[in-house]
Every structure is written in C-alpha cells, then in structure tokens.
C-alpha cells in the first residue's frame, strides 16, 4: 500500500475537516488515514496512487490541495 500526504489550503476548523474527510472517503481507491487542519494522509493499493483523484475531490469540496514532497 502506498501512502502520500497532501497539503490542503483553506481548512480552518472542524467543519472543514469533516467536509474534506467526506469528500475523500467517497473517492474509490483511497484509504483516509488522517485529515487535520492543513493536511491529509492517505493510502492506496493502486499504483500509481490516485493523487489526482484526491486533489479533485478536495477541489470539489471547495479547497485546494497539492502533494507534499
């Protein structure tokens, strides 16, 4: 299982965290390990990991995200 982290801009509170968590949990191929203000830690069995799908789900929820290096 591959793991990756995303930096998420615009999350400021618990409601933001819930919104992003729900968006990510509804994305096939992702396992949500942690979502906190400012970022998320995700896993996937798919190779390559569906980072683009995670970023798109976060954008649909109203936030911007990019892969942490």
Q: What is the pLDDT of residue 1?
A: 86
CATH architecture of the domain with range 2-67: 2-Layer Sandwich (3.30)
The pLDDT tens digits for 16-68 are 999 999 999 999 999 999 999 999 999 999 888 899 999 999 999 999 999 99
Q: Locate the domains of the chain by residue range.
A: 2-67
Instruction: Indicate the pTM of the whole model.
Output: 0.92
Q: What is the pLDDT of residue 37?
A: 94
Q: What is the pLDDT of residue 6?
A: 97
For residue 69, what pLDDT band results from cuts at 50, 70 and 90?
A: confident
* HEC profile of 2-67: EEEEEEEECCCCHHHHHHHHHHHHCCCCCEEEEEECCEEEEEECCCCCCHHHHHHHHHHCCCEEEE
13: β partners: none
């Amino acid at each position: 299982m591959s793991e990756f982290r995303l930096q998420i801009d615009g999350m400021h509170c618990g409601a933001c965290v819930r919104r992003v968590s729900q968006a990510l949990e509804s994305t096939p191929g992702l396992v949500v390990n942690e979502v906190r203000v400012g970022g998320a830690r995700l896993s996937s069995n798919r190779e390559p990991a569906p980072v683009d799908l995670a970023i798109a789900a976060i954008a649909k929820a109203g936030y911007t995200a990019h892969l942490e290096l």
